[in-house]
Amino acid sequence: RQKSADLEGLTPPMRWHMIGQVQRNKARAVATWADVVESVDRLALAQALSAGAVAAGRSIDVLMQVSLDPEPADSRGGVRPADVPALASSVVRLPGLVLRGVMGIAPYPGDPDRAFRTLETVAEKLVAEVPGADVISAGMSGDLEHAIRHGATQVRVGGAVLGKRANVR
């Protein structure tokens, strides 16, 4: 939020992506500054983002975070692949939100090819139901080749560009 204020007026304007779990009580605030929220994994969160976007008089793009863990862990977030169609049908009806696709993070340790193959299948089914929801945000510095092989349209390479983050306590 501080950084977005510091960088206001840049040309071309930056698009701010929120990646990571969003608490429902923080969603209205996130909707005032984020252009894209890549971690929608439950209807209550989508509803809160919708309310915040409408109150702010704006529209935000959203990606559904899909759990790629063999056994989904609540701490990592993500909707189960089988539950994506039901959540998507609810999200597309919410004002102020535009469903653009899916986001996934390969489990570690785990098989990134298997994980991203699952995400690719989910994305193919989603775009058949929601034309235009064709974004696949997947892969980070260590596994981006696997993600690209399975259709990723966006990758996150911060570590490769900026170096490892210092542990902050």
Q: Using one digit for the tens of pLDDT, what is the confidence trace for 73-117?
A: 656 789 999 999 999 999 999 999 999 999 999 888 888 899 999
1 in Cβ contact with 33 (< 8 Å): yes
Distance set, CA 87 to CA 42, 61, 147 (Å): 7, 15, 23
Provide the domain count of the chain. Answer: 1
32 occurs within a structural domain = yes
Q: Look at residues 122, 153, 83, 58 and name the one whose alpha carbon lies nearest to residue 91.
A: 83
73 occurs within a structural domain = yes
Query: Which residues constitute the domain of residue 107?
Result: 2-159
pTM value is 0.85
d(CA 159, CA 27): 27
* For helices 84-91 and 112-129, angle between their N-to-C axes, nearest 10 degrees: 40
54 occurs within a structural domain = yes
Q: What b/e string do you get for 27-39 counting C-beta neighbours within 10 Å, with b at 16 or more?
A: bbebbebbebbbb
76 occurs within a structural domain = yes
Q: Is the dihedral of CA 47, 99, 151, 141 positive or negative?
A: negative
116-151 tens-digit pLDDT:
999 999 999 999 999 999 999 998 877 888 889 998
11-57 tens-digit pLDDT:
677 888 888 888 888 999 999 999 999 999 999 999 999 999 999 99
What's residue 96's pLDDT?
98
127 occurs within a structural domain = yes
- For residue 60, give the H/E element and its range: strand 60-66
**In this structure, what are the phi and psi dihedrals at residue 105, rounded to the nearest 5 degrees?**
-125, 125
67 occurs within a structural domain = yes
166 occurs within a structural domain = no
120 occurs within a structural domain = yes
Please report, for the domain that includes residue 8, its CATH number.
Answer: 3.20.20.10
**In this structure, what are the phi and psi dihedrals at residue 124, rounded to the nearest 5 degrees?**
-60, -40
